[in-house]
Amino acid sequence: MVAGIYFFIKQVNDLGKLWLELKATKIWIVIAVALLSPLAVWLRAVRWNIILPQQPDAQRKGFFSLVMIGFMANNLLPARLGEALRAVLLWKRNRFTVAQSVGSLIVERFIDTVVFAFFFSIPVFMKSSLASLHFWAILMSVVCVVVAVVMALYARFPEQIQKLIFRMVGFLPQKFSISINKIVVELISNLNWLLSFKKAFAVVSLSFLIMVPYSMMFYLLGLKIDAFGVLDSMFGIAVAAIGTAIPLAPGYMGTMHATLMYGFSLLGIAVEKAGALVLLYHSIGYVTVTVLGLICFFNTKMSFKDITKAKRDLGNLQQVNRT
């Protein structure tokens, strides 16, 4: 975090010009960006509901609040602990199993990585100023193709692939096999949406739609920057994702700032304008998500003590499985 903040400040140089750039931002843009942030969270909640498997005793409601609470916790706690909190809340409040809760988040992050790779590759191939990144764009494109092929194969041959997975874990000692097989079944159930064309289409569509609000945030904040367009916004999303993938500081402080500053320098944006864009993008989203997340948290009528107890209960998973 400290290294990222140091890099950001060192790049900006003139803090006076940075302040002038911040002041020049129109209030309607700030309001629009603040509204776009929860829209992206709502789209994530809709997609999460589709990804989660059918569970007879589970409650399929309140997903927006859970996602908002998780992002709020990421802003306040280090190491992206909000993801663990989201899994715990889904388990305790909505009665999905632990493996289903954790597995759904793994699938979600995996899909997001592929979409971010797409948003990275398109502007790199289409903008000459990003020609130095062609190798990484080609690599990410190959990853996207491989993932698409694997998903298509699973949708076409689910039983065969499941048998292969069970053979891979079949070498484990007999005393663990029952518990492990149960967990594997629950984890794999988060891929059931691939077996329905409508659900698969919805998940893929929503995964790209989720990126639209973030892209619009960058686009609106970059209106005062000459020649800043849609491709630059797409590249900004991908670079920001790289910064948030480093799970160290609360709210991705420092890491996001440093990676975005480097990315915008490749686009040739003046450092003061780039610095203002980075600060506004991070701070508006941070405040909006944190405030709404706290409101959702207190509306759940759940205390921090309850969350601590729930997290301790995760450690008793093995005993629960035996029972």
pLDDT tens string 153-204: 999 999 998 888 888 776 666 666 666 777 788 888 999 999 999 999 999 9
Backbone angles phi, psi at 80, to 5 degrees: 50, 45
Residue 321 lies in a domain: no
pLDDT of residue 318: 40
pLDDT of residue 263: 92
Residue 323 lies in a domain: no
Residue 168 lies in a domain: yes
- CA 208 to CA 211: how far, in whole Å? 5
pLDDT of residue 303: 62
Q: What is the mean pLDDT of the chain?
A: 86
Query: Token pair 């776009």 is at which residue?
Result: 36
- Report CA 284 to chain centroid distance, whole Å: 17
Residue 317 lies in a domain: no
- Which tokens in the block code for residue 278? 């980075």
Please give the model's pTM, rounded to 2 decimal places.
0.88
pLDDT of residue 243: 84
- Decide: 37 and 217 in contact? Cβ < 8 Å: yes
Residue 209 lies in a domain: yes
For the purposes of burial, counting CB atoms within 10 Å of the CB of 285, is it exposed (0-12), middle (13-18) or buried (19 or more)? buried
Residue 318 lies in a domain: no
Q: How many domains does the chain have?
A: 1
Residue 320 lies in a domain: no
Residue 319 lies in a domain: no
- Residues of the chain under the 50 pLDDT cut: 317-323
pLDDT of residue 174: 63
**DSSP letter, residue 53:** P
Domain encompassing residue 115: 2-311
pLDDT of residue 108: 92
67-72 long-range CB contacts below 8 Å, 24 or more apart?
67/41, 68/38, 68/41, 68/289, 68/292, 68/293, 68/296, 69/293, 69/296, 69/297, 69/300, 70/293, 71/41, 71/289, 71/293, 72/289, 72/290, 72/292, 72/293, 72/294, 72/296, 72/297
pLDDT of residue 306: 58
Packing angle of the helix pair 27-51, 63-76 (nearest 10 deg): 120
- Decide: 125 and 235 in contact? Cβ < 8 Å: no
Using alpha carbons, select from 291, 278, 286, 288 the residue that is nearest to residue 237. 278
pLDDT of residue 231: 94
Query: Token pair 């280090």 is at which residue?
Result: 78
